[in-house]
Amino acid sequence: MVSRNRLVLVSFAAASVLTAMSAAPAAADINGPDVSSWQHIDGRGINWFAVRGSGNNFAMLKATEGLNYVNPYFVQDSLLMRAAGVARGTYHFARPAESPELQGALYAAIVLGQNGMLDLPPVLDMEDSGGLPPGALIDWTHRYLNTVQALTGRLPIIYTYPNFWKSAMADSNEFTRYPLWIADYRGNDNPEVPGGWPNWTFWQYTDSGNVPGIAGGTDMNAYSGAQGDFGRFANMPFSGSSGS
């Protein structure tokens, strides 16, 4: 006989799955979480085989922040993601009060390139102005992106959210050549796209997803198809792979 506690746990797990499914974009079939040290609750590891087995094609992994922080789980997660067949995106959290060139160099050194098998392009996480006015922040962003592209050989992705871009970046349309990863949790069919971008590439649609293999809640993201076949975009080993 199933105990009362086990029934409660089963019911809770089922409700969590349904909640995550209802929050996902209806048309999206290429999804993945993004993780940092916060998903390693009490030092626990992530079971990347369970993450992939539950239908997640990719994950975004925090690598660095500013000039003084490296995710202590970065190497561990990178190796296990590759072993499990999860395409890896890596991101740098920008601290614009410090040099963009030095931050780009730190990021590139830690990720050891971002152009190998199962690698998505590098990501710049823009959600802190560092006290810079829009003109100076726009210049900082150009300098960081140019540095990382030169060091990795790939055109970076920009992560941001609409209100930040419209205010801190004065809704600049100077970055539309870079793929956009937009955060918008309002539950609409499509996110708000600032800055003159014609479309979004990744959409972070919730910050409270539940993924097998990851302890606690996590952000969830969908791929739009804006960069074409996901397998090619993620350097999957077989050309033409959809990532399914």
Q: Indicate whether 1 pLDDT > 90.
A: no
Q: What are phi and psi of 137, to 5 degrees?
A: -70, -40
Q: Answer yes or no: are the C-beta atoms of 111 and 75 closer than 8 Å.
A: no
Fold of 4-233: TIM Barrel (3.20.20)
pLDDT in tens, 32-88: 999 999 999 999 999 999 999 999 999 999 999 999 999 999 999 999 999 999 999
Question: Any catalytic annotation for residue 34?
Answer: yes
Q: Which position among 65, 77, 119, 125 bears the catalytic label?
A: 125
pLDDT at 175: 98
224: left (phi over 0), alpha (psi -120 to 50) or beta: alpha
Would you state the structure tokens that stand for residue 211, as one six-digit string? Answer: 């993924």
Q: Which position among 98, 127, 139, 229 bears the catalytic label?
A: 127
- Counting Cβ atoms within 10 Å, is residue 127 exposed (0-12), middle (13-18) or buried (19+)? middle
Rounded average pLDDT over 212-227:
96
Residues pairing with 206 in the sheet: 220
Compute the distance between CA of residue 225 and CA of residue 93 in angstroms, rounded to an integer. Answer: 25
Q: Which position among 34, 77, 119, 184 bears the catalytic label?
A: 34
Radius of gyration of the chain (CA): 18
Place of tokens 């998903």: 39
Q: Indicate whether 116 pLDDT > 80.
A: yes
pLDDT band with cut points at 50, 70 and 90 for residue 9: very low
Residues 6+ apart with CB under 8 A from 90: 60, 61, 62, 63, 74, 78, 107, 111, 114, 120, 122, 123
Q: How far is CA 193 from the centre of its chain?
A: 17
Characterize the bridge pairing of strands 31-35 and 69-70.
Answer: unpaired
Residues 6+ apart with CB under 8 A from 12: none
Question: Any catalytic annotation for residue 127?
Answer: yes
Question: Any catalytic annotation for residue 42?
Answer: no
